[in-house]
Amino acid sequence: MNEPTDEPTKEPTDGRAAPRAGGGRASRRARQRTAAYFDLDKTILATSTTLALGTPMRRSGIISTASLARGVVAQLPYLLVGADEDHTARLMTHLARMSAGVERDRFQEVVREALATAIAPAVYAEALDLIEAHRRAGHDIVVVSASGAEMVEPIAELVGADRAVATRMEVDEQGRFTGRIAHSLLHGAKVDALTADAAAHDISLERSWAYSDSISDQPMLEAVGHPVAVNPDRELRRLAADSGWPVRDFTRPVDLRHPFQPPRPWATTGACHLPRPSGAVVALSVGIVIGVSALVGTAAYLALRPAGTR
């Protein structure tokens, strides 16, 4: 398996550079740690976090079928071709409104209960291999996502990350979501969050890695010494080719409910090409499409049938 290294021929280190002469500043840089910052959706997961958790949320009564259907439809552009930050911002606003009045503790409980059935089957095997390679090298593993922290943090724990940085929903004095966003990681805030995390944990961004699928994360990728495009959208794939960044095409979700298999090789290429999806990814996509159709149909039926029959 290819390891995360400064150069393809070198072995990974513990993330600390050898001491050099030249005073205190050089000595401090030598003591700094190295981190690997991972986006979540379509980088660690083969789908969208909110899409994967939608059905468990509906079954628990946290959201309605109609709200879920609207959310799923809103997710389709991102799932299929990627989405810009304005689209993502509208989606996050919609999701925040859907959760208004829900107890934060209850929301987190549903997420944790759904990890095995909704999230574990969608984790990329290649992402797990890469996370493990960084861990062996002594690097901090950090998930950085614009999705809500109540969803992101349990998933980060599931895949073995050290911590997560995510969007924060506003919570009132009774511990219920207000329907508003307290702190968003959109519109450049993701790179600010990464920089703040690096400062808080004495991380050298120059020696660190960042992984993402979206051109909207260009500032985050450019903030580190080792940017990597994973399953990139068209614009990010072009930027990676122009910048000489590595491109990783992940194609194999692995079900974490079953024992881990031996490490699998993962493709490394600087060329611009479309990945050939595996049978698992195709099956997952087909399942999503079928689920979307069923939800939209159900929502339409509920909305259009006569009031007296509801």
* Enzyme catalytic residues: 39, 41
Residue whose pair of structure tokens reads 């552009």 in the numeric block: 77
Long-range contacts of 105-108 (CB under 8 A, 24+ apart): 105/175, 106/60, 106/62, 107/62, 107/150, 107/177, 108/150, 108/154
Q: Per DSSP, which regions of the chain are E strands?
A: 35-38, 123-124, 140-148, 163-171, 177-183, 209-212, 226-230, 247-248, 253-254
Distance in Å from the first CA to the final CA of the chain: 57
Radius of gyration of the chain (CA): 20
Alpha helices in 32-98 (DSSP H): 49-59, 65-81, 85-98
Phi, psi of 37 (to 5 degrees): -100, 120
Contact 236, 229 (CB under 8 A): yes
